[in-house]
């Protein structure tokens, strides 16, 4: 039984928007966990839990609130698809306010905090993350009445030559900031519409040692995403380099009449990118 050597520190940075970016960074060599046993006991999770939720109770998710779909094995450590499905309809009186995505054994375990509104229609989210270690992955839904529900899954490391850095650092920088906002199909009236946001960005962790300067290269990543429809927020996300290169988000919004879907992205250098899409209701 190997011991865990984990050092964590809490970083808070006031974002220029309403949300507070919260990151918990852990460094050090941690031994493998090769089984999915006892996810609650993980020391990283204990720290994350204390920092985000204090002693609030967290219910084990039943599938009628939130479920998490991840592959059993991280085939490509740089690109692991993750889907979070929710079963509550977003209504003005009862809705999922936030979804936290935690990857225990990533260098920065708090990988994303998504915020939704009644105008989201449905608080589902799909994205892709970096996973190099055997790890528990958690999706925690916070409803507007403050209740917490957690779904947990276990992902095996990829092994072999697969690693979290991107495939072509030079190409990633060259296409920085390309974006595409699109909708999938056309929803019926007053039904949630599926949309996808693609952002070309290296989203790197900065954990590489520069061989010349002997310094660690600075992290460079998308830190915030805000999507509105007809001027009303439908999805926002505080994210970091746990999200794969070229961040990709699939989410819903509730179209009310024709309107403009608008995505604004802010990266860790405070570069801002935006993309818009004119949406027309089905005839």
Partner 1 sequence: MPGIPRSMPLLLAGMVLGACCAAAPAPDSGAVLAITEVKPGVFVHAGMLDDWGPGNGGDVANLGFIVGRRCVAVIDTGGTPAVGRALLASIERTTPLPICWVINTHAHPDHVLGNAAFVNAGSTAPHFVAHARFTRALAARETYYLNALERDFGLRLTHASIVYPDTVVETSLDLDLGDRVLTLRAWPTAHTDNDLTVYDQRTRTLFTSDLLFVQHLPVLDGSLRGWLAVMADLARIPADTVVPGHGGVSTDGSAALATQASYLEALTRDTRSAIHDHRTIQQAVDSITVPAGSHWLLGERFHRRNVTAAYAELEWEDIPPTTAEAPPRSPSSPQRSRP
Binding site for partner 1 (CB under 8 A): 16, 29, 31-32, 69, 71, 75-79, 81, 83, 126, 128, 132-133, 157-165, 167-171, 173, 175-180, 184-185, 198, 200, 204, 207-211, 218, 220, 244-246, 248, 250, 266, 269-276
Dihedrals phi, psi of 113, to nearest 5 degrees = -125, 110
- Shortest distance, CB of residue 273 to partner 1, whole angstroms? 5
- Shortest distance, CB of residue 117 to partner 1, whole angstroms? 23
Q: Using alpha carbons, list the distances in angstroms from residue 155 to 32, 33, 136, 163, 243.
A: 12, 10, 6, 15, 15
- Shortest distance, CB of residue 33 to partner 1, whole angstroms? 10
Tell me whether residue 46 or residue 182 sits nearer to partner 1 (CB atom): 182
Tell me whether residue 51 or residue 179 sits nearer to partner 1 (CB atom): 179
Tell me whether residue 166 or residue 259 sits nearer to partner 1 (CB atom): 166
Tell me whether residue 53 or residue 198 sits nearer to partner 1 (CB atom): 198
What's the length of the chain? 283
- Shortest distance, CB of residue 259 to partner 1, whole angstroms? 18
- Shortest distance, CB of residue 270 to partner 1, whole angstroms? 4
- Placement of tokens 């839990």 in the chain: 49
Are 97 and 212 in contact by the 8 Å Cβ rule? The answer is no
- Placement of tokens 């996808």 in the chain: 196
R_g of the chain, CA atoms, integer Å = 19
* Lookup: tokens for 195: 């949309």
Rounded Cα–Cα distance for residues 134 and 32 (Å):
6
- Shortest distance, CB of residue 66 to partner 1, whole angstroms? 18
Tell me whether residue 63 or residue 75 sits nearer to partner 1 (CB atom): 75
- Shortest distance, CB of residue 116 to partner 1, whole angstroms? 20
Tell me whether residue 24 or residue 82 sits nearer to partner 1 (CB atom): 82
- Shortest distance, CB of residue 93 to partner 1, whole angstroms? 31
Tell me whether residue 240 or residue 245 sits nearer to partner 1 (CB atom): 245
Tell me whether residue 64 or residue 168 sits nearer to partner 1 (CB atom): 168
């Amino acid at each position: 039984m190997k011991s865990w050597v984990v050092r964590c520190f809490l970083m808070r940075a006031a974002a220029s928007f309403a949300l507070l970016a919260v990151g918990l960074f852990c460094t050090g060599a941690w031994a493998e966990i090769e089984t999915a046993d006892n996810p609650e006991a993980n020391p990283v999770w204990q720290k994350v839990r204390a920092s985000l939720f204090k002693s609030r109770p967290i219910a084990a998710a039943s599938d009628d609130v939130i479920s998490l779909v991840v592959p059993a094995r991280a085939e490509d450590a740089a690109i692991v698809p993750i889907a979070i499905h929710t079963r509550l309809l977003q209504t003005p009186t009862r809705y999922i306010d936030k979804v936290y995505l935690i990857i225990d054994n990533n260098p920065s375990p708090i990988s994303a905090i998504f915020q939704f509104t009644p105008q989201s229609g449905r608080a589902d989210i799909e994205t892709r993350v970096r996973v190099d270690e055997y790890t528990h992955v958690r999706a925690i839904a916070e409803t507007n009445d403050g209740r917490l529900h957690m779904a947990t899954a276990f992902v095996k490391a990829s092994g072999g030559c697969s690693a979290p850095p991107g495939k072509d650092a030079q190409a990633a920088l060259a296409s920085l900031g390309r974006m595409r906002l699109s909708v999938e199909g056309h929803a019926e009236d007053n039904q949630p519409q599926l949309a996808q946001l693609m952002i070309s960005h290296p989203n790197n962790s900065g954990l590489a040692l520069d061989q010349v300067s002997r310094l660690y290269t600075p992290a460079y990543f998308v830190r915030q995403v805000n999507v509105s429809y007809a001027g009303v927020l439908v999805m926002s996300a505080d994210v970091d380099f746990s999200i794969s290169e070229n961040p990709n988000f699939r989410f819903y919004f509730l179209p009310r009449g024709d309107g403009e879907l608008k995505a604004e992205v802010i990266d860790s250098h405070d570069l801002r990118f935006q993309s818009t899409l004119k949406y027309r209701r089905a005839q």
